[in-house]
Amino acid sequence: MTMRRQTIVILAAALVMVGCAWLSVAEYDPALAHGVAGLQKKVDTFLAGLGECAGTPEGEYDRHASFYAEARQELAGLGQLARVQPGNDLTVRSLDSLAENLDQLEAMHRAGITSADEVALIAGLFDTQFRMLLELENAKKTEEQ
Amino acid sequence: MSIKVNDVANTMVEAVRGPLARIVGKRWPAVRKLVTEEMQTLASALLKIKRQYDTGKIDAARARELLVMHARIVDDVLRHIKGIGIYTARQTIDAAVRAALSLIGLKDPRSHSSASSGKSTAATTRAAGAELTATAASIEPTQEVAPSFKAGKDL
């Protein structure tokens, strides 16, 4: 092996080690990304429906309680999926934050959501939260993915 | 006094520019577009909450609840932008590693990280990466950006 080749091998090995040590963060998980996209659609559809019946008996919490249970279950599943991968703290924290906002929405709904304007505002907030989470998941993709 | 979405958004972008630019470095011009778009959306939501409160559509308690949700999302947006910066940096280093390895006709050993032979190395080295993201995640951007939003003082 020539001196030049040896130098390149050592430099490449050093680069691999540095790359691994500092930037070997969680990898893109299609199941997680698709799960988040699916939940986004579910929440969006729910809020669109709620917007149409807010302030009427149809819009009362009791008629929609099952949505919150289902969404919470899906979020818990996504959280488990995210926790499997080391270096996935940002996603885990984002899913926790999403769960907190879902809890808050449920509390507000229980207390009464009376106008479509209010629902539209909440839908916009959830949209931003989901969109950013998907941006983060997509940023994990490598060139091969 | 009328408050414009762009004025609020620009104030928010300026508030986060310093800390974010330090994290994303040279990628700040690219990230700035994303930050500005998201801050405009969030500024617009903030003004809608204020308008609904001012017109009596929602009471103070509901406005406060919405502001807490809003503050949580501001935190999320900032965390995500930091994360996107980290992942972009990883891709840049990955590309450099591949280029260096291809010069000497070798494959990137990390491409086999899911195989049993590479798992232990990957697991060991990932711990450092986990530490990096944990540090980014532990930063509380709301304290720097919008303490009054959280407390609902603007009401």
Residue A140 pLDDT class (50, 70, 90 cuts): confident
A95 CA: distance to closest CA in chain B (Å): 10
Q: Does A107 touch chain B (CB under 8 A)?
A: yes
pLDDT at B64 over 90: yes
Position A86 scores a pLDDT of 87
Higher pLDDT, A96 or B18: A96
Position B119 scores a pLDDT of 37
For chain B, percent helix, then strand, then coil, each to nearest 5? 85, 0, 15
Name every chain B residue with its beta carbon within 8 A of the beta carbon of A101. Answer: 69, 72-73
Closest CA to B42 of B15, B61, B82: B15
Please report, for chain A, the start and end positions of each structural domain, with discontinuous segments joined by +: 27-139
Name every chain A residue with its beta carbon within 8 A of the beta carbon of B129. Answer: 20-26, 86-87
Is A128 in contact with B77 (Cβ distance < 8 A)? yes
* pTM of this structure: 0.72
Q: Per the structure, how many domains does chain B have?
A: 1
Position B126 scores a pLDDT of 44
Please, are residues A29 and A138 in contact by the beta-carbon 8 Å criterion? Answer: no
Closest CA to B121 of B109, B130, B133: B109
Alpha-carbon dihedral A65, A33, A135, A46, rounded to 10 degrees: -20
d(CA B83, CA B75): 12
In A29-54, which positions are buried (b, 16+ CB within 10 angstroms) versus exposed (e)? beebbebbeebbeebeebbeebbeeb
Q: Could you give the angle at the alpha carbon of B82 between the alpha carbons of B80 and B85, nearest 5°?
A: 110
Higher pLDDT, A60 or B96: A60
* Closest residue in chain A to residue B62, using alpha carbons only: A108
Closest CA to A96 of B14, B75, B96, B135: B75
Residue B79 pLDDT class (50, 70, 90 cuts): confident
Nearest-CB residue to A23 (from B73, B84, B129): B129
pLDDT in tens, A89-111: 999 999 999 999 999 999 999 99
pLDDT in tens, A117-138: 999 999 999 999 999 999 889 8
d(CA B141, CA B42): 15
Domain residues for the domain of B108 are 5-151
d(CA B87, CA B68): 29
pLDDT at B60 over 90: yes
Q: Does A15 touch chain B (CB under 8 A)?
A: yes
DSSP state of B75: H
ipTM of predicted complex: 0.79
Position B37 scores a pLDDT of 85
In total, the C-beta contacts within 8 angstroms joining chain A to chain B are 169
Lowest mean pLDDT among A69-73, A124-128, B90-94: B90-94
Residue B104 pLDDT class (50, 70, 90 cuts): low
Closest CA to B49 of B62, B37, B36: B62
Position A13 scores a pLDDT of 66
Position B118 scores a pLDDT of 36
pLDDT at B133 over 90: no
